[in-house]
């Protein structure tokens, strides 16, 4: 019986730590704008561990996609002369 109680207390403590971690992560996540952050905070606060799990799966994946999207795109070679891609420049008339 003591082992079951110990495991239950350990599970509750781990769930509480996970909830606090997701709450803090939601507050400092730079990829979320104001409304997104408010929505995720409401979900995490009012639904506790279920909301934390949903945030962990969904919002943290969005963060990975946004950051990895910039890292994997190859850079386009810069044009030597930008005038090639823009309209021709008017030259002054010679007298």
* Within-domain flag for 12: yes
* Within-domain flag for 60: yes
**pTM of the model as a whole:** 0.60
- d(CA 73, CA 63) in angstroms, rounded, equals 16
* Within-domain flag for 93: no
Does residue 68 surpass a pLDDT of 60?
A: no
* Within-domain flag for 81: no
* Within-domain flag for 79: no
Q: State how many domains the chain has.
A: 1
Q: By CB neighbour count within 10 A (0-12 exposed, 13-18 middle, 19+ buried), where does 59 fall? A: buried
The answer to whether 56 and 50 have CB atoms below 8 angstroms apart is: no
**Domain hosting residue 48, numbered range:** 2-71
* Within-domain flag for 91: no
* Within-domain flag for 61: yes
* Within-domain flag for 20: yes
Give the model confidence (pLDDT) of 26-51 as tens digits: 898 888 888 989 999 999 999 989 99
């Amino acid at each position: 019986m003591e082992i079951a109680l110990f495991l239950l207390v350990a599970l509750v403590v781990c769930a509480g730590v996970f909830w606090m971690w997701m709450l803090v992560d939601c507050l400092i996540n730079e990829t979320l704008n104001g409304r997104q952050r408010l929505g995720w905070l409401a979900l995490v606060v009012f639904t506790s561990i279920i909301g934390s799990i949903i945030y962990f799966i969904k919002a943290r994946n969005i963060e990975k996609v946004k950051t990895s999207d910039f890292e994997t795109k190859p850079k386009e070679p810069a044009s030597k002369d930008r005038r090639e891609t823009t309209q021709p420049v008017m030259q002054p008339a010679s007298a």
